[in-house]
A = this chain, B = another copy of it.
Amino acid sequence: MNRDHNRFSEGRSLKLRLALLLTVFAVGLQNSSFAEDPLPSWNDGPAKTSIIDFVECAKSDGCEKYIAPEDRIAVFDNDGTLWSEQPAYFQLLFALDRVREMAADHPEWKNEAPFKAVLDGDLKAVVESGKEGLLKIIATTHAGMTTEEFAATVHQWIENAKHPTKKVPYTELIFQPMLEVLNYLRANGFKTYIVSGGGVEFMRVFAERVYGVPPEQVIGSSIVTEFRIREGIPVIERKAEIDFIDDKEGKPVAINKFIGRRPVAAFGNSDGDLQMLQWTAGRTGPSLCVLVHHTDATREWAYDKDSHIGRLDKALTVARDTKWSIVDMKQDWRIIYPE
Contacts and interface: CB of A to CB of B under 8 A. Distances in A.
Given A201-B260, A252-B234, A275 B227 contact: yes
A236 B261 CA distance: 12
A297 interface: no
A215 interface: yes
Contacts of A250: 227
A259 B261 CA distance: 16
B282 A253 contact: no
A149 interface: no
Contact of A253 (B201, B225, B233, B281): B225
Interface residues on A, range: 35 or more
18 contacts: A191-B216, A200-B257, A215-B260, A216-B258, A216-B259, A216-B260, A225-B253, A225-B256, A225-B257, A226-B249, A227-B250, A227-B253, A227-B279, A229-B278, A234-B275, A234-B279, A234-B282, A236-B256
A246 to B, nearest CB: 11
Interface string A275-297: 10011011000000000000000
Nearest to A258: B258
B227 A260 contact: no
A138 B255 CA distance: 22
Nearest to A252: B227
Interface of A: 70, 147, 191, 200-201, 204, 214-216, 218, 222, 225-229, 233-234, 236, 249-253, 256-261, 275, 278-279, 281-282
A250 B234 CA distance: 13
Given A214-B70, A252-B227, A222 B260 contact: no
Given A147-B256, A236-B253, A275-B234, A261 B226 contact: no
B234 A200 contact: no
B233 A282 contact: yes
A247 B330 CA distance: 50
Contacts of A200: 257, 260
B260 A218 contact: yes
Nearest to A283: B234
A272 to B, nearest CB: 13
Nearest to A251: B227
